[in-house]
Each structure stands twice: as C-alpha cells, then as structure tokens.
C-alpha cells in the first residue's frame, strides 16, 4: 500500500481551531453549521449524587443529543461532553433519569444549559419535580414523558461519551402542548 505524506498545510493544523479544516476537510464551524439544520428534541438528564453533601445533590443537564436505540430491550442513548459533571457522575452512579421537555419548559432547558454554574441545587429550587422511585433522580413536572434508566454501556466517541441506558420506568405525566425542539441554535416550537 502506497502511503502519501501529509502536506505541510494539513500536517500543522492545530486541533480544535474552529476555522481550520480537520485533516478530513471539514472545519468545526462548517460541521456545527450543518448540524444546526437538524432539529432535535430537548431533554433534561438528571441524576442524584449521593456523595455530594450530607443528603447528596441533584444534578441536571440539558441535552439535545438523545435518542431511542432499541425496543427489545428498551434502550436510549445520550451524548455527554467528556469531563462534564454529568459525564463524571454517570460514570459512578448507575441510575439516572430523562425528562422529555414540553414547549412550555424553555426556561428549564435554558437554566440547565448554563455553563460555569457552581451548584445545581438552586436550579431545582423553583421548578416542579418529583423524585424517581427507581433512580432517585429528579423527574420534571410538566414533561411530556419521563424515563428512569440504568447505564448499560459507555462508548467514547471523540470529545463525547455515548451513554446507553436501559429504560427501567416510563411515564407520561402530561399530554399538554408539543415538544420543545432545538433548531439553528435556538429553542423552538413545532408548528
């Protein structure tokens, strides 16, 4: 097999520079712009960290990279940024929950998407939720559906970890309104 050395222009490309193409030819900006055209549902992933403080702490994270994987057994997948608090927590805690947010829960999605927050305790303070009986994780009131999951597998994928969870419980707390979606960098309503 003939190997061709990398040209000087591609050999010296610093990783992570958004404007410079990767060796394969697409830049971070180009990829991000293309993927922003894919509408996705918005969920809140939650877990309870029993090691944080005397009563533990509830942790939440907004996610748009969430999908159903299998019906038999019932599996879902969420993509978590490597090294994020949720990624670190789900590596230690086997059960977690997902609330599929309704279009009226834009404020919840925005709140849990904030970067650089010190504690999640205040984020849960004035939103309605119940504690999942199976996972111990918060389940958002007003969500279109809630799932409690147990991690089955973790797959490293670039700068993210794909967490595959077996669905242990599923509930439909409300049927009011439509789903909250994310399209072109903004939360949107269907319709």
Distances (CA, A) of 84 to 8, 11, 124, 166: 34, 30, 19, 22
Give the pLDDT band of residue 17 (cuts 50, 70, 90): low
Give the pLDDT band of residue 177 (cuts 50, 70, 90): confident
139 torsion bin: left (phi>0), alpha (psi -120 to 50), beta (else): beta
CB 23 within 8 A of CB 13: yes
CB 163 within 8 A of CB 84: no
Place of tokens 């999951």: 149
CB 143 within 8 A of CB 132: no
Residue 191 pLDDT: 62
Residue 49 pLDDT: 92
Counted residue by residue, the chain has a size of 191
pLDDT beyond 90 at 157: yes
Instruction: List, for residues 54-88, the tens digit of each pLDDT value.
Output: 788 999 999 999 999 999 999 999 999 999 999 99
């Amino acid at each position: 097999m003939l190997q061709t050395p990398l040209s000087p222009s591609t050999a010296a490309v610093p990783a992570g520079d958004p404007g410079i193409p990767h060796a394969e030819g697409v830049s971070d900006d180009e990829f991000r712009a293309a993927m922003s055209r894919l509408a996705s549902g918005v969920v809140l992933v939650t877990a309870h960290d029993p090691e944080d403080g005397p009563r533990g702490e509830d942790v939440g994270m907004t996610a748009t990279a969430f999908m159903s994987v299998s019906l038999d057994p019932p599996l879902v997948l969420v993509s978590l940024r490597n090294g994020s608090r949720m990624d670190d927590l789900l590596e230690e805690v086997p059960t977690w929950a997902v609330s599929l947010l309704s279009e009226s829960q834009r404020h919840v999605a925005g709140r849990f998407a904030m970067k650089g927050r010190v504690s999640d305790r205040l984020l849960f303070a004035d939103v309605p939720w119940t504690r999942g009986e199976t996972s111990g994780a918060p389940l958002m009131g007003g969500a279109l559906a809630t799932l409690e999951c147990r991690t089955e597998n973790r797959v490293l994928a670039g700068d993210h970890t794909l967490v595959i969870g077996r669905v242990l419980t599923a509930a439909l707390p409300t049927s009011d309104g439509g789903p909250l979606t994310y399209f072109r960098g903004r939360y949107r309503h269907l319709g």
